[in-house]
Amino acid sequence: MKFIAIIPARYASTRFPGKPLAMLGNKPVVQWVYERAAQVFDTVLVATDDTRILDAVHAFGGAAVMTSPDHRSGTDRVREAYRLSGSDANVIVNIQGDEPFVDPEQLRALAGCFDDPATDIATLVRPFRGNYEELADPNKVKAVLTDGGFAMYFSRSVIPYVRGSEQAEWPALAPYYVHIGLYGYRSEVLERVASMPPSVLERAESLEQLRWLQAGLRIRAAESDITTVGIDTPADLEEARRLISNSHERS
């Protein structure tokens, strides 16, 4: 099976404009993502809508392609980049350009999901270990899985609901998983999902993956205990810089 990793990286961001180019240590955030992806996949491509990001990727020796600024989602940008690349890869892995600490083991786990021919789309989940207040955070997307590891549903609400117990007890009484926003798609499935209109469930929860589930696609979820730090805000960048600094001090 042949893979291509595509990193969508937009310059515009409401909370943090230009974050793919923000410096983390001695290199931009997007370079961290690229180099980690390159440890696993032979072909890595940044998909951007801004020449500043394009030039930065070329400067560190990476591959990048310009895509339309009008895409409604990262999935659409990934599809365009895949088409422009001319790749014949069977699977396209979508790695967000603001995840500098994505772990190669996570990427290998994602790729391994496609050993099962029933997998249309692959993603990752992390077993939740914490209190109810953390679990109830709507920014932590929860996932419920089948015994075979396929996603049944994703929600910003706490699922499953534990009847007859105090909410504080729920994390100890049922398996909870938090979604990690990495995706892989078979090439024909990527074409299909990027052409689908938003679904009722997707609009309700603002979760793109619900569109795919509602359409009957099978999403396999590999488990990962690795916690990463995404860069959504300047405060996240400072936290990432602190982690880098601490790592250097220990080495």
Q: What is the CATH classification number for the domain harbouring 113? A: 3.90.550.10
Residue 251 lies inside a defined structural domain of this protein: no
pLDDT in tens, 16-63: 889 999 999 999 999 999 999 999 999 999 999 999 999 999 999 999
- With respect to residue 165, please indicate whether it lies within any of the assigned structural domains: yes
**Token code pair at residue 202:** 């997707």
243 within a domain of the structure (yes/no): no
Question: Does residue 242 form part of some domain?
Answer: no
Q: 32: domain range?
A: 3-234
Distance in angstroms (rounded) separating the CA atoms of residues 53 and 21: 7
Q: Is the pLDDT higher at 230 or at 25? A: 25
Based on its alpha-carbon atoms, the radius of gyration of the chain, rounded to whole angstroms, reads: 18
Looking at the structure of the chain, the number of domains it has is 1
- Is 117 part of a structural domain of the chain? yes
122, 183 Cβ separation under 8 angstroms: yes
Residue 142 tokens read as 């929860």
Least confident of 109-118, 150-159, 213-222, 229-238: 229-238
Portion of the chain with pLDDT greater than 90, in percent: 81
pLDDT in tens, 83-139: 999 999 999 999 998 899 999 999 999 999 999 999 999 999 999 999 999 999 998
Flag whether 63 is in a domain.
yes
How is 10-39 classified by DSSP, letter by letter? -S--SSSTTGGGSEETTEEHHHHHHHHHHT
Residue 239 maps to a domain: no
Provide the whole-model pTM: 0.93
In-domain check, residue 194: yes
Separate counts of helices (H) and strands (E) for the chain: 10, 11
